[in-house]
Every structure is written in C-alpha cells, then in structure tokens.
Amino acid sequence: MTTASWVLLVAAGAFALTDWWATVAERVAVRYVAKPATLVALIGVAVTLDPADGRVRAWMVVGLVLSLAGDVFLMLDEKWFVAGLGSFLLGHIAYVVGLQLAPTSATGTLIGLAVVAVAIATVGRKVVLGVAAGDQRDMVVPVVAYLVVISAMVVSAFGTTAAWAIIGAMLFYASDATLAWNRFLEQRRSGPLAVMVTYHLGQAGLVAWLAWP
C-alpha cells in the first residue's frame, strides 16, 4: 500500500460511514454524494497501490467502475433497476476474470462450490421462487443470471485461498442476498443498512486482496 492508497482508503471509510448514517436517517441528498464517493475512493485505492499482478488489478478496477455505475443506477428511478443489475452482473464477470488470473487451488474451489451450493439451495432458491410468485415475474431470468454470476465470483474468490478475497466476496454475497430478500420477499427495517454495510466492506475486502493477496 502506498501513502496515496492509505489516504484514499481513509476517505473511502469516511464516505462509507456517512452513507450508512444517511441510509438510517433517510437523507437521500447526502446519499447521492456519499454512496458513489465511496466507490470512487476505493477505485483510487486500487489504482494507486502496488499490486502483485497488474493484470489482476486492471480487471478488479473494471469491476469497481461497473459497480460504481450500478450504484448510480440504483439511486435513480425504479426504471433503472435492471440497468443497475446489469452493471453489477458485468462487474462480477470482471471480478471473476481478475480472481481467475491469480493462482488458484482446486481444494479452495471445491470449498467455494460447496458454500455456494448451500446458499443457492436455501436463500437463492427462496428468492427465485419469490420473484416467480410475485408481480415481477419478468425479473426471474435476470435474477437467476445474476445469482449464477455472483456465485461464480464467490467460488473464484475461494479458489484463491486468500482471506481478503474470500471475506470480500462473502460480504458482497450477503449484501446482495439481503437486497434481494428485502425487494422480493420481505422488507425489513434494518435491511437497507445491512445491505450497504456488507456491500462497502465487501468491496473494500476485494480491494485489500490486491494489496495483500
């Protein structure tokens, strides 16, 4: 980590904390600044650190930029939800490529597959059934596609056997599971905050993996 990386990481933490507060306080105007600013700062961290592999860093930065686009789309009108979902889907594909470029372990990959299988059989299955049974049936295919891609990202993270990559991917998984549960099954008061805390920490974990693979 360079000095610039540390400064930007502190800035990302400050923006994230502001966004978490704004989420609870329902300060939409503050969130319009703090939410994307968190990702901008994390992108800055990734760009300014000294990675073990420049190719891996490039793909992870692509994933972060697409995540930033997804954040912006999801803050807009409901009609932009699919665009946000698509941005994150492409972002996870970029993360998969970056993670796969790193040295991988067959054992770690198998463990990841087991974790993902359990998650899909429990939470994932309920979400898909909830979408199919609700008034947004046209979202079944996009949701299933997204579930497959983010699951591949989690498996790829386990394949690296790197703690930061695994922690980051699992927190991201938890964030999206919470978002889907709140949107398609049951809205919970603590849901929006849980989504953002796990999301920001998950992204930070993936960036930390670049510095400490």
The pLDDT tens digits of the residues spanning 167-198 come to 999 999 999 999 988 887 777 878 899 999 99
Which 8-state DSSP code applies to residue 185?
Answer: T
H helix runs in 102-190, sequence order: 106-119, 125-133, 140-160, 163-184
- Measuring CA to CA, which residue among 70, 66, 123, 68 is closest to residue 97? 66
* Domain boundary assignment for the chain: 3-211
Distance CA 67, CA 56 (A): 17
pLDDT at position 119, please? Answer: 95
The angle, 0 to 180 degrees and rounded to 10, between the axes of the packed helices 3-25 and 191-211 is 170
SS (H, E, C) 11-44: HHHHHHHHHHHHHHHCCHHHHHHHHHHHHHHHHH
The pLDDT tens digits of the residues spanning 119-135 come to 999 999 999 988 888 77
pTM of the model: 0.92
In this prediction, residues 188-212 reach a mean pLDDT of: 93
**First and final CA of the chain: distance in angstroms?**
12
Phi-psi region of 161 (alpha: psi -120 to 50; beta: other; left: phi over 0): left
